[in-house]
Every structure is written in C-alpha cells, then in structure tokens.
C-alpha cells in the first residue's frame, strides 16, 4: 500500500479527501488524515481513512501528502517547528500544496524542504467544492518530473486533469492567472446585469445571450444569480456574513497576483480595478 496523507478538511479539502479515499482504494492507496477540527477527521475515518493525532505523526508515515489549508501562514505552521512536516517527514517524501499561496513562499518552502530531502511542490486546484466532490478538479502543478511522478497517483485520484506548468512555483502562477480572470469575469457579468436592471430589462435575457456566445460561464452565472437572490432578501449584515468570506478570498488571491506582477515588473491595470471593486461585486453589485 502507498501511504498518502491529507491535511486540511474544510470546504474543499473534505470532499477532495473523500474522493481520494474512494478512488485511492482501487490503486492501493491508504489515506491518513489530520485536521485541527475533530469532526471531519471522524467522517474521513468512517470512509476508511486512518486518523492521525498530529501533523508530525502523519508526516512520519506518509510518502505523499496533500495539503489544503487556508493560507501561507497555515502552511508555515504545519511545515516548520519540532512538530512540523519537515522535521518529521520521510526522506524523499512529496508534499503537494493545494492552497492558493504566494510564489515567493512556495519557492522558500521548496528550498527549505530540500535540506531535509523532502520535495514541496505547488498543486493548486480549480473547480470549487462541487468539483472536489465529484473528482472533476483541475490541478495545476509546479514540480520537477521526479516529484510529480511520485505525487501523480494521488493527484489523479482527485482530478480529471493535471496540468504541469513547469518547475516549482509555476502551478501558483497558473492559479493566480486563472483566478484573476475569474474575478474579472464575475465583475463584468455583475456590471452587465446592473445595466440590464437599470434599463428596466430582464437579466435572464442577458444570461440567454451569454450562454449562446459563451461570454457568461456557468460559474459566473451561478455566482451572480446566487448573489442577486440573497440581495433580494438579506440585510447588509447578512450579506457580509454569507458572502464576506468569499470576498475576502477574492481579495487575497488578487493581492497575491498583483504582488507577483510587481515582482515581475508587470502592470495589469484592469486587474487593479477588479481588486478595488471585488468586495462590492460580492456583496452589493451596482446600485
């Protein structure tokens, strides 16, 4: 049996891990899981996973580990220290970071891990919670060929496509480029709907046109119609409760993309504008 670990059982991580457990069983993969919250760990154990009592114990027994935590700080916390994966991990192990993080930190983690003969690779995902649940994610990987080859059986269990962008850090660039396009599309559809409403027309007609010409993607339509439905019956406080966390993720991802642009001496003025308005796009749309 190949020993595979999975850390982070949140909105994306839990359904992704459940698919890994199911599909991995057919490939001789035994999954060990860890999360700071006990309930999802117990759920995964019911599906056949082994529950680890710490990051350190999981790292000590797994050859490949998937990580799906919130942000760079969370990755730092599980990699470093006496209880971290670098100190306790197996020689030759591969740690795949599924979280949307910065390229700068990704390169730092990979460099530090190499001193322990451990490979940290970037493997961010796109497809959302529904894609995680049905195994239809796309995983964007930055890794050397040998490390990718070792991680590939795990990655293929949870996705319909793995795109290898190149060396470590390239998966992050792919994800940030994908996300900035996604948020720009959400903003464009939001403003198109605002124009329709202001002119006294039915936004459904715009969705129909956008469906034919491919301009409005299913995910953009789902986002905008969901937001419009909530706006019709929610206070500002309730909108902030429901959509505020997603707006925060948008801000984080766009900040990461723009920080990388500054490192590369690249100007993306439209993305700058999207970043300024993304919270309004999530919470209010246009007046």
Residues with a known catalytic role: 175
For 68, what's the count of Cα atoms within 13 Å in the CB-facing half-sphere?
A: 25
Residue 58 in tokens: 């999981």
* CA–CA dist 278, 287 (Å, integer): 15
Residues 6+ apart with CB under 8 A from 273: none
* CA–CA dist 172, 96 (Å, integer): 12
CA 191 to chain centre: 26
Residue ranges in the chain assigned as alpha helix (H): 13-25, 38-46, 55-61, 72-79, 85-88, 103-114, 128-134, 145-157, 170-198, 203-213, 218-233, 236-263, 269-283
239 burial level (CB within 10 Å; 0-12, 13-18, 19+) = middle
């Amino acid at each position: 049996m190949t020993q595979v670990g999975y850390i982070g059982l949140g909105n994306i991580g839990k359904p992704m891990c459940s698919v890994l457990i199911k599909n991995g069983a057919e490939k001789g993969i035994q999954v060990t899981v860890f999360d700071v919250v006990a309930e999802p760990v117990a759920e995964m154990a019911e599906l056949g996973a082994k529950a680890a009592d710490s990051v350190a114990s999981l790292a000590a027994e797994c050859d490949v580990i998937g990580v799906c935590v919130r942000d760079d700080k969370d990755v730092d916390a599980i990699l470093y220290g006496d209880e971290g994966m670098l100190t306790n991990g197996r020689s030759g192990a591969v740690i795949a970071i599924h979280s949307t993080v910065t390229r700068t930190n990704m390169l730092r983690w990979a460099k530090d891990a190499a001193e322990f003969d451990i490979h940290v690779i970037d493997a961010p995902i796109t497809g959302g919670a529904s894609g995680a649940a049905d195994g239809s994610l796309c995983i964007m990987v930055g890794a050397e060929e040998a490390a990718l080859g070792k991680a590939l059986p795990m990655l293929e269990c949870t996705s319909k496509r793995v795109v290898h962008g190149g060396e470590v850090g390239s998966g992050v660039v792919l994800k940030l480029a994908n996300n900035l396009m996604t948020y720009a599309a959400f903003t464009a559809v939001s403003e198109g709907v605002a124009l329709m409403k202001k002119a006294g027309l039915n936004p459904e007609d715009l969705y129909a046109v956008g469906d034919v010409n491919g301009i409005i993607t299913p995910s953009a339509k789902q986002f905008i119609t969901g937001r419009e439905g909530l706006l019709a019956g929610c206070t500002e406080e309730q909108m902030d409760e429901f959509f505020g966390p997603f707006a925060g993720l948008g801000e984080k991802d766009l900040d990461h993309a723009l920080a990388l642009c500054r490192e590369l001496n690249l100007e993306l003025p439209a993305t700058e504008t999207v970043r300024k308005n993304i919270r309004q796009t999530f919470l209010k749309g246009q007046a």
